[in-house]
Amino acid sequence: MATEVKTIEPKEPALTRAWNWLTDTQIWKSIFRHGAPVTDRNRVLVMLSNVFLHLHPIRIRKSGVKLRYTWCMGGLSFFLFLVLTFTGLLLMFYYRPTLEYAYSDIVGLREHVPLGIMREMHRWGAHAMVITVWLHMFRVFMTGSYKPPREFNWNVGVIMLVLTLLLSFTGYLLPWDQLAIWAITVGSNMARATPFLGHEGPGAALLAFGDVKLIHAGDDARFALLGGTFVGEGALLRFYVLHCVGLPLAIAVLMAVHFWRVRKDGGISGPL
Amino acid sequence: MHLLKDLVNFLADPRIYFVLAVGMLGVLVWQRNRLASGRVGYGLMAFLTVFFLFGSFDRNFRLIVTKPDNVPIVGLIFVLLFFTWYAMAEAVKNDQRLEVGKPPIEKEEENRVWVWPDLVYTELIALVLCSVILIVWSIFLKAPLEQPANRAATPNPSKAPWYFLGLQEMLVYFDPWLAGVVLPGLIIVGLMAIPYIDMNPKGNGYYTFKERKAEITIFLFGFAVLWVSLIVLGTFLRGPNWNFFGPFEYWDIHKLLPLTNVNLSEYFWVRMLGRGLPTNWAVREFPGILVMIVYLGVLPAVLARGWFKAYYEKMGAARYHVGVFLFLMMMLLPVKMLTRWLFNLKYIVAIHEYFFNI
């Protein structure tokens, strides 16, 4: 007669059992298609199956994860863009871009909104993003990363640099205080002097039929920028729409191209 | 103490300030092997910190530095100097390795690591740190809000947003069509042209200076000296009427500076030939137009046979001429600065009739 062998399973801690139960539910398995990324197989799968992580490659040059090489400035620029999108969205709840309300809405935001640091985060985040974008460009230059095959992506980056500055510039007007309108007045006055297209620019006088001027204060480059001959209601609305919709859309599309091309051009740069 | 403040005020004069900035770049390039040590870099940061702490006891200094929108530029001074030094130090490290036949550090770090966890965790930490800094900064420093917009009350000085103050500073030397439209346009075009003009296959994907001396020096001159240092100048050292004020100087709205700037045409016709200015603009501005034609048209061709012969042969005609044109347009600013400071030269070409002044 065979002796009955009784094995005693070591009892698992409650937390482990709860975890095992949770990860075995249909809900969990419908969201996560594989186990925790602790095995090589799952480290591949996590990058392939997650839409947010799939911007990354699966494996990357060792220098590419080091601050020494990247300064992290490209990543921080992107993160600050996300912060600005989020805080900007919240600010849009409180702000109306009209001469009657613009300034008083900002005062209200400061005086009446509890825990109101959204405007601060938006403003300082914007200043910081200008700086991180410059430093990212600086790093890319110093490591020669614009060289073939990455020439085109450098160009996409230069356009995004311009868009970053334009985003910051259009946002500068919105508080509608003295700081805002005079900074934009100084900046946009330059457009008056655009060659041929500004009414005080060289060559504009040549564009005329006899005594009829084609380029004057009411239709030149500055007028197109401001929607008027001075920084007024038209400019406020134009800058608001560009700041909240036009420019963010443009830069988001270019970001997609930029990140895509980083991957397609061989990942982060390194010695050949 | 007063002596020290007066000395800083004196050194901050745009003429000395600019020469010092160029000099610092020169020393960085020339003495890079010595400056690459950590002691220099962190010493520089410590010195800057001490300077700003020392300065903050002064009322005028505090007023300009703690203006909310100027705080990021204080940060910019620190990070720009740090990263310029750091990039150069890393380049020197690699150069020393290359000299003894070893590959650059990046070559040894060529093997791949897993993105999860190596990269995603780095990103997470960076993201958390960045958020913390931003939130703390936002709690302690209120965003500025001045009086409601009033078109009848022009503030003095009226300044553009800080990242355009380098361009505004150029207005001292150029008319708006150049400083505000053409030169910024050329900066963008020039940046985009870099990868197509730079034919040097070396230094792709690692820090190095020795293999890219000209490229890096020109870029640092354009970025650190012309762009950033002029922003710092425009932010901290320009007061009412766009006059120069030292960091420890009171912004006196009545400060008067003698301005007797003279056009090249007047130098030529009145002072050299001792006669009146011709009435026809083409005749009057003939000397200046000639100077510009020589500078932009003849000089590149001459250089192609002389100093830049090696570049011309390596780059080919198209790349060479585009590159040299962009370079000369960039150098127009320091050229104009020097002629202003040395000869009080206002315009090289001054055709007011068509708003065409250079």
Segment B87-145, tens digit of pLDDT: 999 999 999 999 999 999 999 998 999 999 999 999 999 999 999 999 999 999 999 99
Which residues 287-316 in chain B show a CB within 8 A of chain A?
A: none
Say what percent of chain B tops pLDDT 90.
Answer: 78
- Sign of the Cα torsion B126, B127, B132, B134 reads positive
A82 close to B (CB below 8 A): no
Give the nearest chain B residue to A78 (CA atoms): B127
pTM of the model: 0.94
Residue A79 counted as domain residue: yes
Flag whether residue A143 sits within 8 Å of chain B, measured between CB atoms.
yes
Residue pairs spanning A and B at CB distance below 8 A:
268
Please check the confidence at residue B250 and state whether its pLDDT lies above 80.
yes
d(CA A85, CA A129): 12
The answer to whether the CB of A251 falls within 8 A of the CB of A166 is no
Nearest to B205 among A58, A158, A271 (CB): A271
> In total, how many domains does chain A have?
1
Residue A1 pLDDT class (50, 70, 90 cuts)? low
Distance CA B298, CA B304 (A): 10
Beta-carbon contacts of residue B316 (< 8 Å; ≥ 6 apart) = none
Judged by CB atoms closer than 8 Å, whether chains meet at A272 and B179 is answered as no
Res. A161 pLDDT band, cuts 50 70 90: very high
State how far the Cα of B74 lies from the Cα of B78, in Å rounded to an integer. 7
Residue A10 has a pLDDT of: 75
3-state secondary structure of B63: helix
Sign of the CA dihedral running B15, B16, B19, B20: negative
Residue A105's pLDDT is what? 94
pLDDT digits (tens, 9 = 90+) for B166-195: 999 999 999 999 999 999 999 999 999 999
Taking an 8 Å cut-off on Cβ atoms, the answer to whether B107 and A180 are in contact is no
Q: Indicate the domain borders of chain B.
A: 2-110+160-242, 264-357
A206: containing domain: 62-264
Q: Is A162 on the interface with B (CB under 8 A)?
A: yes
User: Which residues of chain A neighbour B351 with C-beta distances below 8 Å?
Assistant: 202
Q: For B203, left (φ over 0), alpha (ψ -120 to 50), or beta?
A: left
Arithmetic mean of pLDDT over chain A: 92
Residue A2 pLDDT exceeds 80: no
Please give the Cα distance from B161 to B163 (Å, whole number). Answer: 6
Asked, for residue A23, whether it belongs to a domain, the answer is no
C-beta atoms surrounding B174 within 10 Å: 19
CB atoms near residue A256 (< 10 Å): 11
What pLDDT does residue B133 have?
Answer: 96
Out of A60, A125, A162, name the one closest to residue B119 (CB).
A60
Whether pLDDT at A233 is above 90: yes
Residue A230: which CATH number?
A: 1.20.810.10
Q: Is A28 among the domain residues?
A: no
Contacts of A230 in chain B (CB under 8 A): 151
Judged by CB atoms closer than 8 Å, whether chains meet at B192 and A154 is answered as yes
Convert the pLDDT of each residue in B259-293 to its tens digit: 788 899 888 998 888 888 888 888 999 999 999 99
Question: Which of B104, B120, B177 is the closest to A193 by Cβ?
Answer: B177
Which residues does chain B have within 8 Å of residue A65's beta carbon, measured at their own beta carbons? 113, 118-119, 122
Identify whether A8 is part of a domain: no
Neighbours of B262 (CB within 10 A): 14
In the 8-state DSSP scheme, what is residue B164? Answer: G
- Judge whether A45 lies within some domain: no
Interface list for B 64-83 with A (CB within 8 A): 69, 72, 75-76, 79-80, 83
Query: Does A70 fall in a domain?
Result: yes
B124 touching A (Cβ < 8 Å): no
Contact (Cβ atoms closer than 8 angstroms) between residue A196 and residue A189 = no
